[in-house]
């Protein structure tokens, strides 16, 4: 593996952990040349999942896009990166359990909203405001009032 800091390809694995029922392996590595540590992630790519966008375009599922959207909603909130990673894993698992080759982006968004709501209410409202594209403050207030009543 090439070191992201010095570019050399001499490293040793310091720690290995599996996640997502053994489908993902996270390895912590130490560069022999510069002595810095970095992490690599290996995962199985056994099926291609297509996401159906609102305009009926199809694009490959991208875990990084999902992770990035959730990270933005959780920024400056007391939510750790491990909690976010686990949330993404749960959503991926939910999708895999449905045994589908295609899924609407709307359904993925609803899964994110459901999981975020349980994790952090502010992150939930942030994500929902972008995802549901509130038109005015009344729609935003209705969502907040609904959250408050529950």
Range of the domain at 40: 1-46
**pTM of the model as a whole:** 0.63
Chain mean position to CA 57: 21
Burial of 11 (0-12, 13-18, 19+ CB in 10 A): buried
- pLDDT tens track for 7-56: 999 999 999 999 877 888 999 999 999 999 999 999 876 667 899 998 99
Q: Are residues 34 and 74 in the same domain?
A: no
Q: Using CA atoms, how far apart are residues 133 and 60, in angstroms rounded to an integer?
A: 23
Q: How many structural domains does the chain have?
A: 2
| Same domain for 135 and 61 | yes
Identify the pLDDT of residue 94.
87
Residue 140: pLDDT over 90: no
41 lies in the same domain as 56: no
Residues 29, 75 within the same domain: no
**Residues 63, 20 share a domain:** no
pLDDT score recorded for residue 150: 66
């Amino acid at each position: 593996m090439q070191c992201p800091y010095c570019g050399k390809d001499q490293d040793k694995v310091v720690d290995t952990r599996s996640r997502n029922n053994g489908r993902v392996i996270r390895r912590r590595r130490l560069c022999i040349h510069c002595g810095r540590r970095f992490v690599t992630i290996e995962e199985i790519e056994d099926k291609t999942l297509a996401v159906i966008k609102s305009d009926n375009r199809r694009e490959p599922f991208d875990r990084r896009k999902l992770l990035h959207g959730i990270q933005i909603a959780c920024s400056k909130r007391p939510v750790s990166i491990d909690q976010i990673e686990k949330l993404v894993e749960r959503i991926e698992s939910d999708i895999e359990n449905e045994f589908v080759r295609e899924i609407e982006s709307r359904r993925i968004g609803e899964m994110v909203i459901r999981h975020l709501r349980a994790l952090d209410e502010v992150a939930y409202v942030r994500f929902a405001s972008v995802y549901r594209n509130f038109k005015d403050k009344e729609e935003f207030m209705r969502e907040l009032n609904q959250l408050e009543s529950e």
